[in-house]
Amino acid sequence: MPHRRMYRALVLAVSAALLVSSFKFGFADAWADQYVLPASADPQERPALGEISAVPASEPNADVPLTPTSPVLSNRVTEYHISVALEEDGTLNAQQTVTWKNPGHKDVSDLYLHLYPNAFSPGSTFLKESGGQLRGDKMQAGSYGSMTLNSLTTEEGETLMPRLHYVQPDDGNSSDKTLATLRLPHSVKPGKSITLTMSYTVKLPQVFARMGKAGDFVMAGQWFPKIAVYEPAGTRGRVSEGWNTHQYHGDSEFYSDFGIYSVKIDVPESYKVAATGFQTKPAALANGRKIYQFYADDVHDFGWAASPAFEFVEDTFSSVGVPGVRIKLYIDPLHKDLSERYMHAAKSALAKLGEWYGDYPYSTLSVVVPPADANGAGGMEYPTLVTAAAAKSDKPGYELERTLVHEIAHQYWYGIVASNEFEEAWLDEGFTSYTEDKLMSSIYGISPNVNVEASYMTHPEPLKLDSWRYSSSDRYAENVYMRGKLVLKAMEKQVGEKTMRKIMRAYFQKYRFKHPSSADFQKVVESVTKDKWSDFFQAYVYQGQMADYAVESIQSVPQEGGGYVTTVLLRRNGGSGQPVGVVFRFANGETVREKWNGEQKHAQLQLKHSSPLSYAAVDPSMSVVLDNLRFNNYLKTEVPEKTRTRLNISLSAIVEGLLGTLAW
């Protein structure tokens, strides 16, 4: 008995010490709220999932995550404590303490900060490259935004403001202030950390490019000073460790490290707030203001939206791969009667993603539906928070579901896998577009015509390319979104849907929370299929090719003893080799089908038959997804050479001119 009492006392003392030590990180309350089950957690006292319906509510209360455990899922390089106030004039005033841990093997003497709101300032690289337009939206004249750092100090109170200076490593534009660096007072050794405290003011533009205000609606995306990614050797094939630093460009999105966020959001009393993570306690009211407290871990960004007009609906959901999640809708009043459509799309998408790829690791998913005049805030992804298409009509078509499932798919490829969207945007957008098609087909029976989509590809460019180096915004979208998706679809066509599902799941499982590269994806493909895919990746990922299988020429010659000898020249003008079918149709109505392995650049086939050949067609089943020039897949024998040449040239000019007007 004495030993048992001593053991109990020792355990109690250790537990108390651990609890006290957690307070210095500021997360003691959040930890308790996140992992303690509610009093009604007894399965006998809780309704079954099918008995729970979405219940409108005037105000969301604190969230209690549905899973009681807290595995550490990422390397948690950063830890942010932010307190932000939305002022009456729409500006944000904030204080922030951020701790950065050196994940490398060398001492680090400099730190880099992304100051993204400065992209909306005159002369910025973003505005120069975009021309004040993005995804069909235009920036209102004179509606500039900015971020002003008011103070920057060490944990000991030493000011670092004189050390701060802006850098422009991508284009040398001295007017661009979206990236800053500073020399630290002392270097940070491997595995050690440094804590900085700062205060800043953000002037929000009228909603444009994922951020700003529209009336009393606010979208705060990329709104705080964010530490850049320090990549250890081996990350994305990197030979030596160092900072990955880029400015905010007209066609780029973002890249950041995983960490912990504790964010206090102070808004006027009438506002409701949607945010990354979960709410740790009921909002506090004081002096006509309302203060929310949110917490998130193992995420690489934090976004939030606020409006007094939100219609709020919440439901719980679980399925295979979705251990338990609260789905929270913040809907513009125009769509208040469409909550069932939003909820069904969100639940169905999560269920499929969990089944196909792996667990959704978070306890919440928030969906924000912006008002019509905040279109630029729509269709965007943040960890555990997505924005749907803006509410422009009270009777939207399937664009409502398509936009929402696309953004929820981003939770896996952008949110959890977390590729570098500056340098390899297709690993997010292409993968998400591919998954979007899968979700729409599985849930709603809506499938795209990939052969028509391939025909839109008038200017293919490499997929592994810095986003601002594409020749235009249209070609960035054309390649990163559409051609990236088609590359995955082409791969699926070759290996089969079942094997492709294994590839995508293996990639997600291996590289979740890891920042992988195109080369990492290739390794997974080769591991699953047990084949080499170098030619495929070189052609379609690194060189920006499309496939082009063609019937080059046909020569049918009568023989003295009767019958005909026909010579057909097949040619592969682009892409990597793959087997294709070839159909030969003779004048007497007979058809012969052959297979060409497609590995050579050209193949000459000779056929002997009692009748002359009428025509030949390569890939008549359209199995080569990336062939965007199908007019030359078919050739008739009897067309004279000069006429055929002129016909090919004129058809080519007509088709390319037409498709050039359709390309997105």
Confirm whether 375 is domain-assigned: no
Residue 573 — very low, low, confident or very high, per pLDDT cuts 50/70/90? Answer: very high
> Is the domain of 531 the same as that of 568?
no
Confirm whether 48 is domain-assigned: no
SS3 415: helix
CATH code of residue 136: 2.60.40
**CB-CB contact of 257 with 415 (8 Å):** no
Q: What is the pLDDT of residue 591?
A: 95
Helices 399-410, 339-356: crossing angle, 10 deg rounding: 40
CA atoms of 414 and 383, how far apart (whole Å)? 8
406 is in an annotated binding site: yes
429 is in an annotated binding site: yes
Residue 67 — very low, low, confident or very high, per pLDDT cuts 50/70/90? Answer: low
Q: Which amino acid is at 128?
A: K
> Is the domain of 222 the same as that of 89?
yes
Q: How many helices (H) and strands (E) does the chain have?
A: 13, 33
Q: What is the pLDDT of residue 57?
A: 61
Backbone angles phi, psi at 568, to 5 degrees: -120, 125
pTM of the model: 0.87
Residue 653, exposed/middle/buried by CB under 10 A (0-12, 13-18, 19+)? exposed
> Is the domain of 200 the same as that of 97?
yes
Q: Is the pLDDT of residue 8 over 90?
A: no
Boundary of a domain, candidates 239, 257, 275? 257
> Is the domain of 192 the same as that of 111?
yes
Boundary of a domain, candidates 509, 541, 573? 541
> Is the domain of 469 the same as that of 521?
yes
Higher pLDDT, 400 or 42: 400
Q: Which of 289, 303, 272, 274 lies closest to 85 in space, CA to CA?
A: 289
SS3 296: strand
Residue 62 — very low, low, confident or very high, per pLDDT cuts 50/70/90? Answer: confident
Confirm whether 202 is domain-assigned: yes
Q: What is the pLDDT of residue 660?
A: 41
> Is the domain of 246 the same as that of 107?
yes
Q: What is the pLDDT of residue 59?
A: 76
> Is the domain of 551 the same as that of 497?
no
Average pLDDT over residues 51-61: 55
Sign, CA dihedral 638-644-647-653, equals: positive
Average pLDDT over residues 405-411: 98
Q: What is the pLDDT of residue 137?
A: 81
**Torsion on CA atoms 398, 404, 409, 411, rounded to nearest 10:** 180
- Catalytic residue numbers read 407, 481
Q: Which amino acid is at 121?
A: S
Q: Residue 523: give the domain boundaries.
A: 425-541
Q: What is the pLDDT of residue 69?
A: 55
> Is the domain of 552 the same as that of 508?
no
Confirm whether 66 is domain-assigned: no
Both tokens assigned to 339: 């909550």
> Is the domain of 514 the same as that of 633?
no
Specify the number of domains making up the chain.
3
Percent with pLDDT over 90 in the chain: 82
Q: What is the pLDDT of residue 51?
A: 34
Confirm whether 58 is domain-assigned: no
Boundary of a domain, candidates 241, 257, 273? 257
> Is the domain of 526 the same as that of 567?
no
Residue 595, exposed/middle/buried by CB under 10 A (0-12, 13-18, 19+)? exposed
Strands 364-368 and 385-387: parallel
Strands 564-572 and 242-244: unpaired
Q: What is the pLDDT of residue 561?
A: 85
> Is the domain of 514 the same as that of 604?
no
Confirm whether 174 is domain-assigned: yes
609 is in an annotated binding site: no
> Is the domain of 630 the same as that of 616?
yes
Q: Which of 577, 515, 625 lies closest to 258 in space, CA to CA?
A: 515
Both tokens assigned to 24: 């210095």
Distances 230 to 34, 77, 81, 222 between C-alpha atoms, Å? 29, 9, 20, 19
CATH code of residue 608: 2.60.40.10
Q: Is the pLDDT of residue 20 over 80?
A: no
